[in-house]
Amino acid sequence: PSIGVSLFSDNPVTVDELMKQADLSMYQAKAAGKNTMRFFDPEMQQAVSTRIKLETELREALIQKAFFVHYQPQVNSRSQVTGAEALVRWQHPQRGVILPDEFIALAEETGLILQLGRQVLANVCHQLAIWNSLPDLASFTIAVNVSASQFRHPDFLHLIDEAIAINGANPHNLKLELTESMLLDNTEDTIHKMYSLQAKGVQFSLDDFGTGYSSLSYLKRLPVDQLKIDQSFVKDLGKNKSDVAIARTIVTLAHSLGLAVIAEGVETKEQHKLLLKEGCEAFQGNLFSCSVAIEEFEKFIFS
């Protein structure tokens, strides 16, 4: 059993309130692995209230289209820009700009990520269509983060097709960032979706590579184009020998499977130099530019 307990000695509370508190504590006991007991504590309630408020605001923000996309340049080994990663931001009416770490997880849990993902994709495909008409930018790619629940959704293929078609984007310039764990569960569905998209020209990059379980047989079987070395390994390059070894291993693995490789979170010249030496051919990080609004991104390219 999971037991929730609420005490009511000094504070007068209604029966309803008391039951709610005990219920909340019981769910905490379940979340803690079941077969245990939790006492109600006001912080619990605070966390739940904060979450409910954020969820309500998220729903409103989707209606108001209060999300916008920033672009972080990706460069090749000669430091020329070849495209960008799209990173979503929330323009909150009171709090200003909110970064994704604060709302993506909640958007996933509530299913709101589907609508959010659709807005981001529309934004990105619109941008790709604009670039496609400009000779200097026609080959630029945009990488978009895809959440597991988005990818698993039965409508996912339709959603991508729709965004490409409505906006007139070139699918060859769209890159979807998936994570290793997404490839491992529900393999049949994964294979079907990835090959359908690949047939249209869409590319795939494996985000945060090296942090999850890597399956070499899936890397071989699935149409992955690029591995993205996670920023946690890039961070201590130069200080930590095993991070150099990990970066080298990922580059070697990518190249022996015929895949491209990019490092993210590159902040210093030293990290850049070490990665170049290991054969890494693409880079993203604050050393080149942080994520910026589209106007600034275009300025950056032509500077």
Instruction: Give residues in contact with ligand C2E (CB under 6 A).
Output: 72, 87-88, 99-101, 104, 117, 120, 145, 147, 207-208, 264-267, 285-286, 291
Strand 260-263 and strand 282-283: the pairing is: parallel
Q: Which does 147 bind (CB under 5 to 8 A by kind): Ca ion, ligand C2E, none?
A: ligand C2E
Least separation in angstroms between residue 158's CB and ligand C2E is: 18
What would the two tokens of residue 67 be? 């999300």
108 vs 203: CA distance, rounded Å: 23
Least separation in angstroms between residue 52's CB and Ca ion is: 28
Contact by Cβ (8 Å): 238, 269: no
Least separation in angstroms between residue 143's CB and ligand C2E is: 9
Q: Which does 187 bind (CB under 5 to 8 A by kind): ligand C2E, Ca ion, none?
A: none
What would the two tokens of residue 64 be? 């108001």
Burial of 37 (0-12, 13-18, 19+ CB in 10 A): middle
280 vs 28: CA distance, rounded Å: 46
Least separation in angstroms between residue 30's CB and ligand C2E is: 27
Q: Which does 179 bind (CB under 5 to 8 A by kind): ligand C2E, Ca ion, none?
A: none
Instruction: Map tokens 């630029």 to a residue.
Output: 140
Least separation in angstroms between residue 208's CB and ligand C2E is: 6
- The residue among 120 and 237 lying less far from ligand C2E, judged by its C-beta, is 120
Contact by Cβ (8 Å): 77, 281: yes
- The residue among 180 and 207 lying less far from Ca ion, judged by its C-beta, is 207
- The residue among 6 and 291 lying less far from Ca ion, judged by its C-beta, is 291
Q: Which does 100 bind (CB under 5 to 8 A by kind): ligand C2E, Ca ion, none?
A: ligand C2E
Would you give the DSSP letter of residue 292? B
Least separation in angstroms between residue 34's CB and ligand C2E is: 30
Name the 3-class secondary structure at 86.
strand
Contact residues for Ca ion, defined by CB under 5 A: 145, 177, 207-208
- The residue among 243 and 264 lying less far from ligand C2E, judged by its C-beta, is 264
- The residue among 26 and 124 lying less far from Ca ion, judged by its C-beta, is 124
User: 213-243: b or e for each residue (b if 16 or more CB lie within 10 Å)?
Assistant: ebeeebbeebebbbbbbbbebbbebeeeeeb
For residue 295, CA distances in Å to 71, 175, 250, 253 come to 10, 21, 34, 37
What does 183-199 look like in DSSP terms, one character per residue?
A: HHSSHHHHHHHHHHHHH
- The residue among 62 and 142 lying less far from Ca ion, judged by its C-beta, is 142
Q: Which does 72 bind (CB under 5 to 8 A by kind): ligand C2E, Ca ion, none?
A: ligand C2E
